Structure 1
Amino acid sequence: MNTNTQTTRLYHTALSPFCRKVRLVLAEKRIEVELVEERYWENPPELRRRNPAGKLPVLRYRGNMLAESQAIVEYLDESVPQPPLMPQAPLERHEVRRLCSWFDDKFNAEVTSPILNERVWKKVTRAGYPDSRVVKDGLRAIKEHIDYLSSLLETRRWLAGANMSLADFTAAAHFSCLDYISDVDWDRSETLRDWYATIKSRPAFRSILADQVPGIHPAPHYAELDFG
């Protein structure tokens, strides 16, 4: 049997920025994928068999099980070169990776993870009531991030430079999760809002905008390409 004929399958959870990053890149590369929702908080044994770290996303692609979102998207970009999402010049590639790390580490720790944990995952997993102090800290931190990203976009067409890259999809994955629950102050920066509206309008975003988390309704503007 040729394992390359196996269905491409992504084990994911809907409101995870790491899973969304992979989904966006798969869609941008026009790779058809079957989405399998995982209740990772229940620690299913199948998840550790697919990824010993017990983390999502996990992508079954061309007969291989791939883990860690950044490693996955860089592999996809190398395996399916068009459209390219990494620049050719080493210094430009470094900038893309720096910004991907900025979002997956710093932004996630200061903004995405605490806000989603309090507003979404505590409710989904029945782990108690949200801590308003944690949410306020996250909403305070996002302002600094918005200001920094706006300063980058004042001299760049896209976050990492002249061309759209993995940095933009990583950032959009995080912002889209927060936008689902209306926790991005888009009025703070017209520049960042325009950037998000542009990437949000891409066909790759369609399945993301169709997401529904049981018991938690998206913000009214969430699926509107012009923010309604």
Structure 2
Amino acid sequence: MPSLVHYPLDPASRLIRLMCAEYGVPLDLEEIRPWLREEALLELNPAATLPILFTDADVPIVGIMATIHAVEDFYTPDVAGGLFPLDPLDRAEMWRLVEWTLVKLNDEVTRYLIEEKIAKRDQRGATPDPAVLRAAKANLNEHLLYFNWLLASRKWLAGPDMSLADFALAAHLSTLDYMGDIDWGKAVETRDWYSRLKSRPAFRTLLNDRVVAMPPSRGYADLDF
């Protein structure tokens, strides 16, 4: 059985978990806090980032892009298409939005909120910086406006069919929703899209995630929210 070194609220790890669940691939999960930079993690990945996937060959596959491709290459069901569109132009749009999420949204929003709200709990005397939280949430509102605009004219984020772009964004929004940082009243189109993804069986294990001393926001696990 493949295994994944992850942190429950790490969105990159959540993306791989969603992909594997969608493809019916069970995972053994090993939890680690990457910001602690423990020796066991650094031996696998000197960059101290997640996720790290061990296939049945017990070879570590390190980093989000390598892991995405490994899951798609090794585990796409023969009876169904994968999460990569067949048409080159559709696939290009998918990768554009995957990059938007994994790079732009992460760098402007998600990583700051995780650092301030979660990682700082492991730093003696550290407390969240209100200025950083305000800036990250302001950035998030701008991203949501863009996602609302896209989803007002599309069934799925990158076009008419569900793709990796949907799972990438859902992974990030699920982390932000857990921490209570999304005002869904200002993101109606995105909320409706997220509700459809949230109702998929692949999402069930994510909705059961809990972080010690940090319960999820109200409605996090509700399908009708």
TM-score bracket for the superposition, by shorter chain length:
over 0.9
What residue is the counterpart of 2:93 in the other structure?
A: 95
| Residue aligning to 1:146 | 144
Q: Secondary structure at the match of 2:60?
A: strand
- TM normalised by structure 2 equals 0.93
Aligned residues: 221
Q: For structure 1, list consecutive stretches of 5 or more residues without a partner in the other structure.
A: 1-6
Structure 2 unaligned regions, length at least 5: none
In the other structure, the counterpart of 2:75 is 80
- The residue that corresponds to 1:39 in the other structure is 33
Measured on the aligned residues, the alpha-carbon RMSD in Å equals: 1.4
Please tell me the residue identity of whatever aligns with 2:212.
P
Retained in 2: the 8 A contact 1:41–1:125? Answer: no
Q: What is the letter of the counterpart of residue 27 of structure 1?
A: A
In the alignment, the residues of structure 1 paired with residue 141 and residue 33 of structure 2 have an alpha-carbon distance, to the nearest angstrom, of 31
Gap change, CA 1:35 and 1:161, over 3 Å in 2: same
Aligned ranges 1:96-115 → 2 under 5 Å: 96-115=94-113
Aligned partners of 1:162 and 1:209: how far apart in 2? 26
Q: What residue number does 2:190 align with?
A: 192
The whole-number CA distance in structure 1 between the counterparts of 2:169 and 2:125 is 28
TM-score (normalizing by structure 1): 0.92
For residue 178 of structure 2, what is the amino acid of its counterpart?
Y
Equivalent residue number for residue 14 of structure 2: 20
Q: 1:165 aligns with which of 155, 163, 166?
A: 163
Matches within 5 A, 1:209-220: 209-220=207-218
Identity of aligned residues (%): 39
